[in-house]
Structure 1
C-alpha cells in the first residue's frame, strides 16, 4: 500500500502518546509476556488439578473454548498476526533461546523437494505440524479430557524449548509452530495492518527481510524490534481490502498454498467427509476417525490439484504459479465455516458459561447467563449461517482468485479459463458441505 501520509485509509497510531508508548517502549511487551506466561502456566496446572469436566475446567475452557476457537480465529481474520505479540509460547521461546546453541535453522536452500510438480521448502513444516497438532485434539478426544489437555500443551512447550535451545531467532515460531503457519496465510485476509511509515534500517530479527514495517504477514513474530529500536519512526494503521495481501504478494509461496488447502481439508471437508468415511472403516476407535481425517486431507489436495491441472491445461498457464496463487479461492469459506459453525454459535449459546468458568478460575466470580443471545437470535443466526453466510465466503474467494488470475494471465479470457475449474469446485463442494447437494453415502449435514 502507499506510504503517502495523505492516504485516506490510514491512521498514524504514534500520534497518540498512549499508542506510541505501547508500540515503542521496550518494556511493554515483556510485561505482557509475564502476564500471559503466568496465565498459560496456571491453565496447564488447573488442567491437571481442576475438575475433569471440560466445560468447567479452567484449562480446557481457556485453551480451546476461548483461546483457539474464539480469540485466535477472530484475531486471525480481523487483526492478522497480532496474536504473536502476546503469545506465551513465543515468550518462552525468546527466553530459552538465550541459553541455546544459536544455530541457524536449516533452510534447505539447495534442491527442494518436489511434490505434485511444485517445489516445496522448509516452510511446509508448519503444514505438517498443523495437521498432526490438530488431529489429537478432536480425533483422539483430547478436548474432552482436561488432563490430556495439560499433557498436550506440556509436550508442545517441551518441543518449543527444545527447538529454541538449538536454533536462534525464534525458529520454532517461524517454522514449526502450527498456529504461526495458519497465521501466515489467514493474516492475508485481514482488513488492517500495522506498519512503520518509513524504512528504519533496523534489521528484522528473523533475518528474512530488511525491516521497514511492523508486519509482513509472513514469518513476522511481532518481536517489536523494528519499533523499539526506532521509537521516533511513526507506526501507522492502514485499512486495505480484505484479502488484498493474498492478491498483491510479491513472492507467492507454494508452501502457503498447500497450507491453505490443508485448512480447507480439516475445517469444512473433514467435518462432513471425515464422519462418513469413518463409518465405513471397520476398526476400533480412534482409528476410523484418524484415518478418515487423513483421507479428507488427501482428497482435498487431490481435488485442488486436479482443478489446477485442468485450468492450467485449458488456459495455457504454467502449473506452479496456478497451484500457488489459486489456493486462496478456498480460504475465506474455510475460515468463515469455522467462525459460523463454532465461534459465533458457541458464543451465542454458551458464551456466558465459558466466561464464568474462565474468571472463576482466576478467582473472580461472575454470574452471566449461560447463553449470550436469545433463542430467536440464535435461530436467526442458524438460518443465516446455513443459507447466506457460506456463499459470502465463496464469493470472497472467487474475487480473490479472479484478481490473482488477472495478474498472471495475458487476457480476461485466459484468466477465466484458468479459474473456471476452481470456481466450479469451490461452489459444488460448498453446496455439498452445507447439505444443498448430497452424494449417496457422503451427504452433507
Structure 2
C-alpha cells in the first residue's frame, strides 16, 4: 500500500495488478482512444446518413442521450476530470499536434489583462466557447436534428485539429474546449479524486501549471505520461467531502469564477429569464425568427452577470474583502446549484425516462440487439425524483454553495462578521433566483 494506506478513505489502485496495468501500461490508453475515435466518427456518420429522428439516430443518441448527460455529467460529479482519459477529441488533438508547429499558446495572463478590476487570463476562452457551444444546442434546436449535431462535432473537430497544428501541449483541450472548462470547476465538487501520490518530474501536457502528476482534479488532461514513464509511483483513489477541493485550492482563478457564473446563468437562470425578456421587450416585433432566442440567451447572461457583480460589489464594500478576491471566491456559492440543476432537470430524469431506448439504439448499432423498455424505472419512481428535484434539491445546492464559501473564507481567518457581510448579498440573490426557478420551471 502507499504511504497513506492507513487512511480509511484512501485506496492505492496500483496495488491491484489489473489496475496497475490499466494505469501504467503505455499501450492501454492508445487502444482506448482508437475505440473512442471510431465510435466518435461512426456517430458523426450516422448523424449525417441515418434516420433523422433523434430518438432512433445513433449519432444523436450517442452524443447527447448517453455521452453528454449520463456519462459526462455523472463522471464529472463523482470523479472530476476522468473523462479526459477517454475523450476522442483529446485523442485527435494528441495525434495531430505531433505534426504541428509546436508553438506555445499565447499566455496573455502574463500581461495582467484586467476587466472591471478583475485579472483575466487565457483560461477565460473556455467560458466564451462554452457560451457559443451551448447556444445552438438548445436555443437553435440542434439537439433535435441529427445532421446538425454531426455538423457541430465536425466543425469542433476541424477547430481542434487547426489549433493543434499550431500549438503544443494539448492547447485545444486546456484553453479552447468548452467541456474542459466545465470540468475544471465541477471537479472541485466531486467526492473522489484519482491522483498520483507523488510528484514524478515527468513533463506533461500541463507543464505551465507545474503539474507533474496525474490528477482528476485540476487542469490535468490525463495524458498519462507521468504514470507510464513512472509506473512505480502509486496512483490512489481518495475520498473527500464534496466541495473540499474548492475550499482547499491554493490559487483560485478569476477566470474559473467567470465560468461558474456562466454555468449558473446558462442553466437555472436562462431557463426562467429568457421568456420574460422576450415578453417584456417585445423582441418578436423587431427581431426575426430564431434570433429572438439568441437575443434572449445573451440578455439572460448579461443580466445574471450584472446581478452577480452587484452582489459582489455590495459584499466587498460592506465586508472590506478585496474586490478581486470577493469576485473569485464568492462564485463558488453558485456552482453546486448550477450543477444540480443540470443533473436534476436534464441528466437524471432524461436518462430515467428514455435511457432504455437510448441503450437499445446504441448497442443494436454494434450488432448487440437488446430490448430494454424505454423507461429504466417506473413512473412512480420518476414522479418521486421530480418531486425531490422541485423541492429539496435546489435548496441543497444553495446551502452547499454558501457553505463552500463560508469554510473557504474561514481558512483565511476572516471573522464571522466579515464573512456574513460578504456572503449576505449573494445569499439574497441566490435564494431569490432559486425560488423563482423553482416556481417557474420545476413546479
Task: Please state which band the TM-score falls in when normalised by the shorter chain.
Answer: over 0.9
Residues 129, 177 of structure 2: 8 Å contact kept: yes
Q: Does the alignment pair 1:390 with 2:372?
A: no
Residues 203, 210 of structure 1: 8 Å contact kept: no
Change (3 A) 1:221 1:433: same
User: Residues 124-174 of structure 1, C-alpha deviation per residue, up to 9 Å, x if partnerless?
Assistant: 000000000110111111111111111110000000000000000100000
Residues 76, 186 of structure 1: 8 Å contact kept: yes
Partner of 1:389, secondary structure, is helix
CA RMSD in angstroms, aligned pairs only: 1.6
Residues 100, 164 of structure 1: 8 Å contact kept: yes
Residues 12, 236 of structure 2: 8 Å contact kept: yes
Q: Which moved more, 1:219-228 or 1:279-288?
A: 279-288
Residues 405, 419 of structure 1: 8 Å contact kept: no
Name the counterpart of 2:66: 66
1:303 to 298, 303, 307: 307
Q: Which moved more, 1:200-209 or 1:392-401?
A: 200-209
Q: How many residues align?
A: 438
Measure, in 2, the Cα distance between the counterparts of 1:209 and 1:115: 23
- Give the drift of 1:216: 6.1
Q: Which moved more, 1:156-165 or 1:362-371?
A: 362-371
- Give the drift of 1:4: 3.6
Change (3 A) 1:128 1:382: same
Partner of 1:63, secondary structure, is helix
Name the counterpart of 1:281: 283
Partner of 1:81, secondary structure, is helix
Matches within 5 A, 1:178-257: 178-215=178-215, 217-257=217-257
TM-score, length basis structure 2? 0.96
Name the counterpart of 1:159: 159
Partner of 2:251, secondary structure, is coil
Change (3 A) 1:259 1:211: closer
Measure, in 2, the Cα distance between the counterparts of 1:55 and 1:121: 40
Runs of 4+ residues over 6 Å off in structure 1: none
Name the counterpart of 2:87: 87
Partner of 2:292, secondary structure, is helix
Residues 190, 242 of structure 2: 8 Å contact kept: yes
Partner of 1:427, secondary structure, is helix
Measure, in 1, the Cα distance between the counterparts of 2:213 and 2:101: 29
Partner of 2:119, secondary structure, is strand
Change (3 A) 1:431 1:82: same
- Give the drift of 1:109: 4.2
Residues 33, 91 of structure 1: 8 Å contact kept: yes
Measure, in 2, the Cα distance between the counterparts of 1:111 and 1:212: 25
Measure, in 2, the Cα distance between the counterparts of 1:175 and 1:269: 25
2:295 to 287, 291, 296: 291
Partner of 1:30, secondary structure, is helix
Q: Which has the higher helix share?
A: 2
TM-score, length basis structure 1? 0.95
Gaps of 5+ in 1: none
Q: Does the alignment pair 1:322 with 2:346?
A: no
2:408 to 389, 393, 404: 404
Measure, in 2, the Cα distance between the counterparts of 1:444 and 1:287: 26
Measure, in 2, the Cα distance between the counterparts of 1:286 and 1:176: 26
Partner of 1:103, secondary structure, is coil
Partner of 1:194, secondary structure, is strand
Residues 43, 59 of structure 2: 8 Å contact kept: yes
Partner of 2:223, secondary structure, is coil
Measure, in 1, the Cα distance between the counterparts of 2:427 and 2:86: 38
Q: Does the alignment pair 1:263 with 2:266?
A: no
